[in-house]
Amino acid sequence: MLTVRGLTKTYATADGDFQALKGIDFDVPQGGFYTLLGESGCGKSTTLRCVAGLEEPDGGSIVIAGQVVTDIERGTQLPAFERDIGLVFQSYAIWPHMDVFGNVAYPLRVQRPRLAAGDIKARVMDALRLVGMESFAGRQATKLSGGQQQRVAFARALVRRPKLLLLDEPLSNLDAKLREQMRFELQELISRTGVTTLYVTHDQSEALAMSDRVAVMSAGRIVQSGAPREVYGRPTNRTVADFLGSANFLRGRVVEAHDGVATVALAGGASTLHVPSRAALAAGTTVDVIFRPEDVTTRLDPSDGAIECVLERVVFQGGSSECQLRLGSTALRSVVHPSLAARPGDRAWIVLQPERCILFAAD
The pLDDT tens digits of the residues spanning 228-277 come to: 999 998 898 888 988 888 899 999 999 998 888 999 999 877 788 899 88
Domain 2-242 has CATH 3.40.50.300: yes
Interatomic CA distance for residues 290 and 196, integer angstroms: 35
pLDDT at residue 277 in the model: 85
Interatomic CA distance for residues 277 and 300, integer angstroms: 30
- CATH class of the domain comprising 246-361: mainly beta
**Residue ranges of domains in the chain:** 2-242, 246-361
Q: Alpha carbon of 200 to those of 10, 153, 170: distances in Å?
A: 20, 16, 8
pLDDT at residue 251 in the model: 93
pLDDT at residue 242 in the model: 84
DSSP 104-167: HHHHHHHSSSPPPHHHHHHHHHHHHHHTT-GGGTTSBGGGS-HHHHHHHHHHHHHTT--SEEEE
Q: What is the DSSP letter of 268?
A: G
User: Fold identical between 2-242 and 246-361?
Assistant: no
Ranges of residues in the chain whose predicted pLDDT is under 70: none
Q: State the CB neighbour count (10 A cutoff) for residue 210.
A: 22
pLDDT at residue 102 in the model: 95
Return the bridge partners of 266, or none.
252
φ and ψ at 215, to 5 degrees? Answer: -115, 115
